[in-house]
Chain A
Amino acid sequence: GAGVSQSPRYKVAKRGQDVALRCDPISGHVSLFWYQQALGQGPEFLTYFQNEAQLDKSGLPSDRFFAERPEGSVSTLKIQRTQQEDSAVYLCASSLASTGRTTDTQYFGPGTRLTVL
């Protein structure tokens, strides 16, 4: 594909609902990242995959957040029992890099704006 795509672009959830956010990385990209961006802030790291392996989930704010990438391509970020503080833009990025210590360019998707009422 031309770039990283994310769906849905906008999601409104009632507090307590579960949501699933999808990321389609650039074909062939090994690394995949999820970030959370609050209004007026920079992106904050949530979790990182290398192929299907979740190598770092240190940024996930609570056990309500879960991410997977079962076949090493598409990834899903799931948030259970959403809270108002979960309202943010969730960004996905992918890179060609296959090693953990590299500065390979990350390509970001447009994000999913989640609003929890």
Chain B
Amino acid sequence: SQKIEQNSEALNIQEGKTATLTCNYTNYSPAYLQWYRQDPGRGPVFLLLIRENEKEKRKERLKVTFDTTLKQSLFHITASQPADSATYLCALDTSGGSYIPTFGRGTSLIVHP
């Protein structure tokens, strides 16, 4: 079956450390993968998109990697801050570059001061 897996357990880290979140998928061949941030009571906010032919993408303190062999994306936040605490969702296209991404359930990140 087709699945998108994100760790359901919250990730707790200390301020200043690097947070690494994982998104694994099975039985898809996505043309792209996206990461979103979602705060309680709010809609997701787009952060980064990485295409299948890109290994890594960076934006300020964020870094995303995409390994189509391992079927995995890693999302890193360097020098994490308490304000980074939120749920992070990965999403990928499940039908040949479709405009409609399929979302994982998200992982909660808690950054402790």
How distant is the Cα of A43 from the Cα of B90 in the complex, in angstroms?
A: 11
For the complex of A and B, 8 pairs with smallest distance between CB atoms: A108-B43, A42-B103, A105-B46, A42-B105, A43-B103, A41-B105, A108-B44, A45-B100
Q: How many interface residues does B have (CB within 8 Å)?
A: 24
Give A residues with C-beta under 8 Å from B: 4, 31, 33, 40-45, 48, 56, 91, 93, 95, 97, 99-111
Q: Given the complex of chains A and B, what is the CA–CA distance between A100 and B98 in angstroms? A: 7
The answer, among B32, B49, B99, for a CB contact under 8 Å with A31, is: B99
Residues of B within 8 A of A (CB): 4, 8, 32, 34, 41-46, 49, 89, 91, 93, 97-106
The complex places the Cα of A31 from the Cα of B100 at a distance, in Å, of: 11
Chain A neighbourhood of B4, CB < 8 A: 42
**Residue numbers in A under 8 Å from B101 (CB-CB):** 106
- Other A-B contacts than A33-B100, A40-B105, 16 sampled, CB-CB below 8 A, are A4-B43, A41-B105, A42-B91, A42-B106, A43-B44, A99-B99, A102-B99, A103-B34, A103-B49, A104-B99, A107-B46, A108-B42, A108-B43, A109-B43, A110-B42, A111-B43
